[in-house]
């Protein structure tokens, strides 16, 4: 057999190959398990010693020559492919920059961030609870009896099926069930109880719809549980929060007796405003001439029955709670007048009222700088 001619023939075929797939085909044809050169190597075993001495080196030279030629051709084809890719993937640096991203932070998200920032400074953690609740957490544990009008079908969205424990399932109508969950969580970790300071912002649902009511809206709950807590702590906390939130030192509050099943006593909190150019501007006493009071949120001392439902001893632990509408806080601070537009998803509204994602609210830098 003429090994030199075989080598020459193989090298010519390798040199002629134009792509990596075909080259791999040749490698298999020559050097694969069933390959022609592999076959030649196998014949060495059956040869006499003298024959092997002359033929062996020729076959090995053939194999090495083909192996080297394959490697060299492979490297050449790969670098040609890379060159072609680099040539086709050029960037024209003289083109104008792409338009700046136009996404913005929704006012509800912005206000939630502002609330977390302000209350974190007063030692409050942010807690959450499920939007799909059971009627025990949403009503019963909060001292809202079966006959209470808030339980009526026209206010509450109920699910058709009960849960595994036989409780009616619903979309929570307020963030107050998070009070119960926060207390039960603390008792689970520490059966004797421990102080709690949380805010719980989130979505709530009521079957209601007009210019100031949407079936889904946002509330923030506040809960403080400790020993010796009284109404003064509640008033100071709300005053400090509202001054920081509205970025005004002249915010004046009026506490009015009210009723909520889960607080005793209950207080409705009004904030004083002035009429400036026909618009209400928060600040100052509502009793001054040309001023008025605006209802802002509900609050009170946590009812003993609610503390007990949370697993704590009401003789030992007291607390206050409050609940405020986040959408309403946003409207008052940033001047929108129709609540429904909040949830229409119109990009023009979002562009107008939205916030720059890079403007993270901080107490030092300001908690509300419009984009």
Interface contacts to ligand PHE, rule CB under 6 A = 174, 176, 260, 263, 298-300, 321-323
Nearer to ligand PHE, 62 or 127 (CB): 127
Whether 228 and 240 have beta carbons less than 8 Å apart is answered as: no
Q: Closest distance between ligand PHE and the C-beta of residue 299, in Å?
A: 5
Classify residue 193 as left (phi > 0), alpha (psi -120 to 50) or beta: left
Q: Closest distance between ligand PHE and the C-beta of residue 268, in Å?
A: 9
Nearer to ligand PHE, 63 or 206 (CB): 206
Nearer to ligand PHE, 104 or 263 (CB): 263
C-beta nearest to ligand PHE: residue:
323
Nearer to ligand PHE, 7 or 200 (CB): 200
Nearer to ligand PHE, 132 or 288 (CB): 132
Residue 289: what are its φ and ψ, rounded to 5°? -60, 135
Q: What is the DSSP string of 34-88?
A: T-HHHHHHHHGGGS-HHHHHHHHHHHHHHHHHHHHHHHHHHHHHHHHHHHHHHHH
147: preceding bond cis by omega (within 30 degrees):
no
Number of H helices, E strands in the chain: 11, 11
Whether 266 and 260 have beta carbons less than 8 Å apart is answered as: yes
Alpha helix segments (H runs only) across the chain: 3-16, 20-31, 36-43, 49-88, 107-121, 135-138, 177-189, 231-246, 304-309, 326-334, 347-353
d(CA 292, CA 60): 103
Nearer to ligand PHE, 129 or 323 (CB): 323
Whether 239 and 337 have beta carbons less than 8 Å apart is answered as: no
Q: Closest distance between ligand PHE and the C-beta of residue 307, in Å?
A: 13
Closest CA relative to residue 66, chosen from 108, 100, 35: 35
Contacts of 365 (CB under 8 A, 6+ apart): none
Q: Closest distance between ligand PHE and the C-beta of residue 269, in Å?
A: 10
Q: Closest distance between ligand PHE and the C-beta of residue 110, in Å?
A: 22
Whether 113 and 55 have beta carbons less than 8 Å apart is answered as: no
Q: Closest distance between ligand PHE and the C-beta of residue 261, in Å?
A: 9
Q: Closest distance between ligand PHE and the C-beta of residue 142, in Å?
A: 8
Nearer to ligand PHE, 70 or 234 (CB): 234
Nearer to ligand PHE, 298 or 368 (CB): 298
Q: Closest distance between ligand PHE and the C-beta of residue 124, in Å?
A: 14
């Amino acid at each position: 057999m003429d090994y030199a001619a075989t080598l020459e023939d193989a090298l010519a075929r390798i040199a002629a190959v134009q792509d990596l797939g075909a080259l791999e085909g040749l490698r298999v044809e020559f050097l694969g398990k069933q390959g022609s050169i592999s076959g030649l190597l196998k014949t060495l075993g059956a040869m006499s010693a003298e024959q092997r001495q002359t033929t062996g080196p020729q076959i090995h030279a053939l194999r090495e020559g083909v192996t080297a030629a394959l490697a060299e051709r492979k490297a050449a084809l790969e670098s040609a492919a890379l060159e072609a890719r680099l040539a086709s993937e050029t960037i024209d640096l003289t083109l104008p920059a792409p338009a700046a991203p136009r996404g913005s932070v929704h006012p509800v998200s912005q206000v939630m961030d502002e609330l977390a920032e302000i209350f974190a400074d007063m030692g409050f953690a942010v807690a959450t609870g499920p939007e799909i609740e059971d009627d025990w957490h949403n009503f019963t544990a909060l001292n809202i009896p079966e006959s209470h009008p808030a339980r009526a079908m026209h206010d509450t969205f109920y699910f058709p099926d009960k849960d595994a424990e036989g409780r009616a399932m619903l979309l929570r109508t307020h963030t107050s069930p998070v009070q119960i969950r926060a207390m039960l969580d603390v008792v689970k970790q520490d059966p004797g109880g421990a102080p709690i300071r949380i805010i719980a912002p989130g979505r709530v649902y009521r079957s209601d719809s007009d210019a100031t009511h949407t079936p889904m809206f946002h509330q923030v709950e506040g809960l403080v549980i400790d020993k010796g807590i009284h109404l003064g702590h509640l008033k100071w906390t709300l005053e400090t929060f509202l001054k920081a939130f509205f970025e005004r030192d002249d915010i004046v509050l009026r506490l009015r007796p009210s009723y909520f099943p889960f607080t005793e006593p209950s207080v409705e909190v009004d904030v004083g405003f002035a009429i400036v150019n026909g618009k209400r501007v928060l600040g100052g006493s509502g009793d001054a001439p040309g001023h008025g009071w605006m209802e802002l949120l509900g609050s009170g001392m946590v009812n003993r029955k609610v503390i007990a439902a949370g697993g704590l001893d009401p003789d030992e632990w007291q607390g206050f709670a409050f609940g405020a509408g986040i959408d309403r806080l946003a409207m008052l601070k940033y001047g929108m007048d129709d609540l429904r537009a909040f949830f229409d998803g119109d990009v023009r509204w979002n562009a107008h009222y939205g916030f720059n994602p890079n403007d993270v609210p901080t107490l030092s830098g300001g908690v509300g700088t419009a984009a």
